[in-house]
Amino acid sequence: MPVVLAPLHLCSSAPLLPCPSAPLPLCASQRPEPTLDEALVALPGGGAVAAWGATGLGVDTGHDHLSDGFFRALFADGVATVGEATLAGKLALAASGQNPDLLDTFTLLGDPAMNLDLDLVPWPHEIFLPIALRARP
């Protein structure tokens, strides 16, 4: 899982420093500004339907187990809900025996019973990328 870089108004730390994306374990009166995940899920008329993120500052050690378990559950094991996928990520982390603190500090904002539509629709357009060549001496 990547570290979220948030502008100053979304996080009380300095601009472009890692900040928690999910709610910290503080009451709202101690944390006047929303976290990035809270702001995205609560955005009227758009935003995110759910967010899964860290509730505190830290390094990304162990996040690979969370994401591997999450995506394996979705695309290989065929789980249907976001809650089952996040649980699979946490189970993969627990099975690794590493970074057990992440089991308690990663949280899902949103409905864990939400079904995920995993039908892949082919992109109907062609994409052309520029080619940059280095001049030979």
What are 66-110's pLDDT values in tens digits?
999 999 999 999 999 999 999 999 999 999 999 999 998 889 998
Question: What is the predicted pLDDT for the residue at 11?
Answer: 39
Question: Residue 57 belongs to what domain range?
Answer: 8-109
Helix, strand, coil proportions of the chain in percent (round to 5)? 35, 10, 60
Answer yes or no: is 39 within a domain.
yes
Give me the torsion for CA of 37, 7, 67, 58, rounded to 10°: -100
More confident residue, 73 or 125: 73
Total of domains in the chain: 1
Task: Give the confidence band of 65 by pLDDT, cuts at 50, 70, 90.
Answer: very high
Higher pLDDT, 11 or 125: 125
CB 110 within 8 A of CB 82: yes
For residue 120, is it within any domain? no
Residue 133 lies in a domain: no
Q: Which residue has the higher pLDDT, 17 or 50?
A: 50
131 lies in a domain?
A: no
Q: Is the pTM of this model over 0.85?
A: no
Between 83 and 16, the higher pLDDT residue:
83
The answer, yes or no, to whether residue 135 has pLDDT greater than 50, is yes
